[in-house]
Chains A and B, each alone.
Chain A
Amino acid sequence: MRELTVKQLFEDKRKDFALSLVTEPHTINKRIVTPYFNRPGLALAGWLEVFTPERIQIFGEAEVRYLQSLKEQPMLERLRELFKMDIPCVIISKGLSLPPSVEYLANDLNIPIFSSRLSTVQLISQINRYLMDVFALEKTIHATLVDVFGLGILITGKSGIGKSECALDLISRGHSLVGDDMINMRNLNDTIVGRSGREFGHFMEIRGVGVVNVEKMFGIERVRREKTIDLQIELMPWQENTEYERIGLKANYVDHLGVKLPMIYLPISPGKNVSVIVEVAAMNQILKGSGYDAAEDFNRKIHEEIRKQTLFKKVQATENDPKDGNSK
């Protein structure tokens, strides 16, 4: 969703933000078009050059105390200038209040004012989280999302290649399912969070068996509602003449909603236990995340070995060289 009304924000978050509407109900039909908020301290002081009127305006203690320090008429003048710019709404934190004349002005100019009992810091962090969630970039793709050792793994590949069967195997090995077939991805602060594209439970189609309910079959601990995606594994049929990653020194990445995710191309063929390979890929990714890269370590050890051999050869060459021996 890329659009929000003040009314909807009020209905969704009235409890969480500890909100009450100060102005009349007719004021709250405004639209919110950006996921950002603003503290209008300088704008209230009269400097309106870089003011961002399209944002939710949060009045903390500083703003309220400043307005209270002004005489009634100048205070209303400043607020009128702000309200004329068609701001979506004002939220006053800490349960503070402004004089009734401000209320009348807001009613006149059709600007909603809310009061929140949360502290300014709490309110800002809550609003931020809510707006980021509402305005997050999103897309839905054909994939299966599982949680393996705490790592979110997106399994992709052509229809019928065995994504669901692989997930089922992982579930029966103790891992959990986030969603099958349709995965909705959202960019939240540059992490990709995935959840099932369908909201009505953890169903899965297993070819030859039909639709199964994973939650009913394996229990609530084998399913998750959403999960950050850390790795994508693309299942592909084994092809004779294709080159697959052998050492792992070269990392592949895939872009989702502007975020780079590590990507593994996994060739599958009969007799390969894909779920065990997915587990290994997950553990290897966890090790990489903690700073250990097996491919690099191995390559370093080979380099060392090669250097030793080279040195050994040089020493041997010097010993066998009579000229060099005489000079010492």
Chain B
Amino acid sequence: MIQKTVTVNSEHGLHARPAALIVKAATKFRSEFYIERDGVKVNGKSIMGVMMLAAENGAVLTLIAQGVDAEYLIEEVSSLIEGGFRL
């Protein structure tokens, strides 16, 4: 299992579009993927789950992945979040 802590870096937080981008990136991988915030853990491949986090700009999230390609998943998703969703 791989964990990484990231800080949200986008002005309006994780609203629908950024959430969709995270899910889109994560579903490319086979590993299981969760995002945790203040004790709330959601499935990172579920768009409703990710949006329900209501993560604002500067919120600290823990990315948790488990599986064969967990490393790559974490790398891609964290660079997406920290890079402010500029692809």
Please give the residue numbers on chain A whose beta carbons come within 8 Å of chain B beta carbons, in ascending order. 241, 243, 246-247, 249, 295, 298-299, 302-303, 305-310, 313
Query: 1/0 per position for B10-46, CB-CB distance to A under 8 A?
Result: 0011111101100110001000000000000000000
Of the residues B17, B23, B28, B56, contact of A306 by C-beta under 8 Å: B56
Bound-complex Cα distance A241 to B28 (A): 7
Asked whether B54 is an interface residue with its Cβ less than 8 Å from the other chain, the reply is yes
Q: Is the CB of A243 within 8 A of B12?
A: no
Asked whether B59 is an interface residue with its Cβ less than 8 Å from the other chain, the reply is yes
**Which residues of A are found within 8 Å of B54, using beta-carbon distances?**
302, 305-306, 308-309
B25: shortest Cβ distance to chain A, in Å? 11
Q: Is the CB of A303 within 8 A of B12?
A: yes
B14, B16, B51 — which one has the most chain A CB atoms within 10 A of its CB?
B16
With A247-B47, A309-B54 as contacts: A299 and B14 at CB distance below 8 Å:
no
Bound-complex Cα distance A202 to B58 (A): 60
- Secondary structure at chain B's binding surface: helix, strand, loop or mixed? loop
Q: Is the CB of A306 within 8 A of B13?
A: yes
Please give the residue numbers on chain B whose beta carbons come within 8 Å of chain A beta carbons, in ascending order. 12-17, 19-20, 23-24, 28, 47, 51, 54-59
Of the residues A299, A308, A309, A313, contact of B16 by C-beta under 8 Å: A299
Q: Is the CB of A309 within 8 A of B23?
A: no
**Which residues of A are found within 8 Å of B12, using beta-carbon distances?**
303, 306
Bound-complex Cα distance A195 to B55 (A): 49
Q: Is the CB of A249 within 8 A of B13?
A: no
Bound-complex Cα distance A249 to B19 (A): 12
Q: Is the CB of A313 within 8 A of B15?
A: no
**Which residues of B are found within 8 Å of A295, using beta-carbon distances?**
16
With A299-B16, A302-B15 as contacts: A309 and B59 at CB distance below 8 Å:
yes
Of the residues A246, A298, A310, contact of B56 by C-beta under 8 Å: A310
Q: Is the CB of B24 within 8 A of A249?
A: no
A265: shortest Cβ distance to chain B, in Å? 15
Bound-complex Cα distance A112 to B79 (A): 78
Report the nearest B residue to A309, measured CB to CB: B56
With A243-B24, A302-B51 as contacts: A249 and B56 at CB distance below 8 Å:
no
For the A-B complex with A246-B20, A299-B15, A302-B14 known, give 12 more contacts whose Cβ atoms are closer than 8 Å.
A241-B28, A295-B16, A298-B16, A298-B51, A302-B15, A302-B54, A306-B12, A306-B13, A306-B15, A309-B56, A310-B13, A310-B58
Of the residues B13, B17, B20, B24, contact of A309 by C-beta under 8 Å: B13
Bound-complex Cα distance A303 to B17 (A): 11
**Which residues of A are found within 8 Å of B19, using beta-carbon distances?**
302
Bound-complex Cα distance A309 to B14 (A): 12
Bound-complex Cα distance A60 to B21 (A): 64
Report the nearest B residue to A248, measured CB to CB: B16
Bound-complex Cα distance A249 to B47 (A): 13
B21: shortest Cβ distance to chain A, in Å? 10
Bound-complex Cα distance A124 to B55 (A): 62
Q: Is the CB of A247 within 8 A of B16?
A: yes
With A243-B24, A306-B54, A309-B54 as contacts: A249 and B59 at CB distance below 8 Å:
no
